[in-house]
Structure 1
């Protein structure tokens, strides 16, 4: 599969790549921000195409990491975060199957 060929029909549309013992691997397509959330466990977020502003809070202070193709963001369990793409972005997300 060529991730760059994936065009979602709505923001955060996804293709399931694998489910490994309760851990999912998905390619997401989006052109809109997600929402502030905290995952049930850790999350690996890797930008495949485009640019994403990853907003996250540590100790009540908001930070922003600019992620471009090839960059990875690791959200530890309990890390409040939200992804804001700049235009269209495709991302690989690895997380627990029941995470939001």
Structure 2
């Protein structure tokens, strides 16, 4: 059993993570960041939940770049092949659920 107080989690670098669980190859990790990630496509599906802060999620649909601001409590689901990049607006804490070893 674990209890994680996400608001007190920080990392020594942007996108530093705390491994919470690995359930049959599906990982759940808590990330802290204050810097953008990079454009990428995950090997599988990804669930991205903002626990603290705000994140501008940029993604491409049919070759067109779009964006939306995710507030605390919002969830972004990236299906297989969804190209995306997260840009925190200040510091943010994000829960990510994805296949182990995914980009």
| TM-score scaled by length of structure 2 | 0.96
Matched, 1:28 2:58: no
**Hey, what does 2:10 align to over in structure 1?**
7
In structure 2, stretches of 5+ residues that fail to align are: none
Runs of 4 or more, structure 1, over 4 Å off, are none
SS at match of 2:7: helix
In structure 1, stretches of 5+ residues that fail to align are: none
Matched, 1:68 2:71: yes
SS at match of 1:15: strand
**Hey, what does 2:85 align to over in structure 1?**
82
SS at match of 2:11: coil
The count of aligned residue pairs is 100
RMSD over aligned Cα atoms? 0.4
| TM-score scaled by length of structure 1 | 0.99
Matched, 1:95 2:84: no
Q: Distance in 2 between matches of 1:72 and 1:63?
A: 16
SS at match of 2:13: coil
**1:95 Cα deviation (Å)?**
0.2
Deviations 1:57-100 (A, max 9, x none): 00000010110110000000000000000010000000000101
